[in-house]
Amino acid sequence: MQDEIVFRFLDERVAASARLLWEQAPETCRAVVDALPAAGSARHGIYSGSEVYLVLSELRTPPREHATTIVGPGDVGFLTVENGSGYGIEDAYSEVCWFYDLDATPSMPEGPIAVNVFARLYEAEAFFAVCRRMRLEGAKRLEIARTET
């Protein structure tokens, strides 16, 4: 069983590991691990405060588990958004999102939305510094991968 995954900002050569929370969110952990590696443009959240997210290339639909709108620095969440479920959402998608400071609340235009917290980033200060810069610098190339075991 995979215990950790790694997040890498490819152009900055900055990475952080996250411990998977198998006991709290087993189906979400499995859905995400099965989707790895995942890569693309990570973007800073517009409505959520200190949040960055990566939309996955495949739709994943684990059930709600360990779902909350109350997150802290280092929490890693998962969310599937159904088409037509909110303002401007024409296609369903799944995303992995992470929070890097105290002012985060996962939100969409209509208000807060619960995410499945399935992992926790640790020793991630350099990684969080890149996340903070994204508010001004914009999207960055990111990969989420399994760690070598």
pLDDT the model gives residue 95: 96
The answer to whether 43 and 84 are in contact (CB under 8 A) is no
Cα distance between residue 32 and residue 78, in whole Å: 8
Tens digit of pLDDT for each residue in 43-78?
A: 999 999 999 999 999 999 999 999 999 999 999 999
pLDDT the model gives residue 149: 56
Q: What percent of the chain lies above the pLDDT cut of 70?
A: 96
Structural domain including 56 reads: 4-146
Structural domains in the chain (count): 1
pLDDT the model gives residue 82: 80
Secondary structure of residue 23 in the 3-state scheme: coil
Q: Is 28 left (phi over 0), alpha (psi -120 to 50) or beta?
A: alpha
- Domain harbouring 14, CATH code: 2.40.100.20
Among the listed residues 136, 131, 139, the one whose alpha carbon sits nearest the alpha carbon of residue 7: 131
In the chain, which stretches have pLDDT less than 50?
A: none
